[in-house]
Amino acid sequence: MQGHVGLDYPDIGEFEKSIATFAETGMQVHITEMDVDVLPRAQQQTGADVSDRAQYAEELDPYVNGMPPGVEKQLADRYVEFFKLFLKYRSAIRRVTFWGTGDGESWKNYFPVRGRTNYPLLFDREYKRKSCYHAVAALKK
């Protein structure tokens, strides 16, 4: 299951239904391409068709000078929400793979709007651990 998610999509209950459905069949679940988009959506669809592009606009790139503390907390909370779910289904989930290591290398800086500053991963642009990393690491098995 691809893990390209945002701060407010998909609904965690819907994501859980998908994991549970696969688990019920006995399949091993792999969460791939995990990242959490913190920027406003440029378009309503949430697919990853790389040919889809949106025009750059300042309102779609609000955190050029850094992620505000409130958004950083939302990001950490969202990662925790997903990783609690992953731990709940740990017998079915074989692995979780991230779509990059540090924010600077993320495809979310260029999709669907080129040149934005996004913060979707557990490590910042200098590969230092972010608060979302520490929040996930603190979860108990």
pLDDT at 55 over 90: no
User: What pLDDT is recorded for position 49?
Assistant: 61
* Beta partners for residue 31, in sequence order: 96
Q: Tell whether 117 is covered by a domain.
A: yes
Nearest to 81 by CA among 40, 34, 29: 34
Spatial CB neighbours of 21, under 8 Å, sequence gap ≥ 6: none
Tens digit of each residue's pLDDT (9 = 90 or more) over 11-41: 999 999 999 999 999 999 999 999 999 999 8
**107 occurs within a structural domain:** yes
Per-residue pLDDT reduced to its tens digit, 60-109: 999 999 999 999 999 999 999 999 999 999 999 999 999 999 999 999 99
Helix residue spans in the chain (DSSP H) = 12-24, 69-88, 131-137
pLDDT value of residue 42? 84
| CATH code for the domain of 94 | 3.20.20.80
> H-helix or E-strand containing 95?
strand 93-98
Tokens (6 digits) for 66? 């850094």
* 68 assigned to some structural domain: yes
Q: For residue 46, tell me if it sits in a domain.
A: no
**Structure pTM?**
0.91
Range of the domain at 109: 2-41+54-137
Looking at the 3D structure of the chain, how many domains does it have? 1
The pLDDT, as a whole number, for residue 38 is 98
103 within a domain of the structure (yes/no): yes
- The CA distance from 113 to 73, in Å, is 24
Check whether 47 has a pLDDT greater than 60: no
Q: Does residue 49 lie within any of the structural domains?
A: no
Q: Exposed, middle or buried: residue 128 (CB in 10 Å: 0-12, 13-18, 19+)?
A: exposed
